[in-house]
Amino acid sequence: MGDRASNGRTAVERRSERELVVTRTFNGAVRLVFDAWTKPELFKLWWAPKSSGVPLLSCEMDVRTGGSYRIAFGHDASKSMAFFGKYLEVSPPSRLVWTNDEGEDGAVTTVTFEDVDGRTRLVLQELYPSKEALDQAFVGMEDAMPEQFEQLDELLVTLGASV
């Protein structure tokens, strides 16, 4: 609990009928935070909430403008749920834009990374095609919320040279 470098301050705002904006500052240089979003071996350490009990099966990312990504969740390949899309813009280390193509009404996600005195201010914007699409997004995921990431902490401590 508690002693997070970022004070655990995640701000979420519905900025318009079709738009959700999430903001947080991280206690690390922009290039490091950008790496954590664009290197699959790092991305998969944090993207899937640990205590949701649904592990990340695979994570393929061809991080360049026009490249595609595919992330699969589930306990085994026969019962997995995939999220996929393509990168509309990759501008290291300051901006990422991708599509979410797994559903009918997928959002376009834009993430910007801004240096603030050596820390990183991250703004994630999801733009949905309609108000209804945003209303329905994430429904049912509220139960999948982890409390803490102690297991992840332990994993990271032992990560060592594999990062």
Partner 1 sequence: MVQFSTDRLDSSFAALSDATRRGVLEQLGSGDASITELAEKFHMTLTGMKKHVGVLEQAGLVTTQKVGRVRTCRLGLRGLGEEAAWIEGRRQIWNARFDALDDVVEALIRKEKADGRQSE
Nearest-approach distance from CB 152 to partner 1, in angstroms:
5
Rounded least distance, CB 78 to partner 1, Å: 26
Residues that bind partner 1 (CB under 8 A): 1-2, 4-14, 20, 22, 24, 26-29, 31-33, 35-36, 42, 45-47, 49-51, 118, 124, 135, 138, 141-142, 144-150, 152-153, 156-157, 159-161, 163
107/146 Cα distance (integer angstroms): 24
Strands 80-91, 68-74: parallel, antiparallel or unpaired by DSSP? antiparallel
Specify the residue, 41 or 60, whose C-beta has the smaller distance to partner 1: 41
Closest CB 42 distance from partner 1, rounded Å: 6
- In angstroms, rounded to a whole number, what is the distance separating the alpha carbons of residues 68 and 49? 23
Report the residue number, 83 or 149, with the smaller CB distance to partner 1.
149
Q: Which is nearer to partner 1, 92 or 146 (CB)?
A: 146
Please state the separation of Cα 120 from the chain's center in Å.
15
Q: What are phi and psi of 51, to 5 degrees?
A: -85, 0
CA separation for the pair 18, 160 (Å, rounded): 42
Query: Which residue number, 76 or 155, has a Cβ lying nearer to partner 1?
Result: 155
Please state, as a whole number, how many other Cβ atoms lie within 10 Å of the Cβ of residue 76. Answer: 8
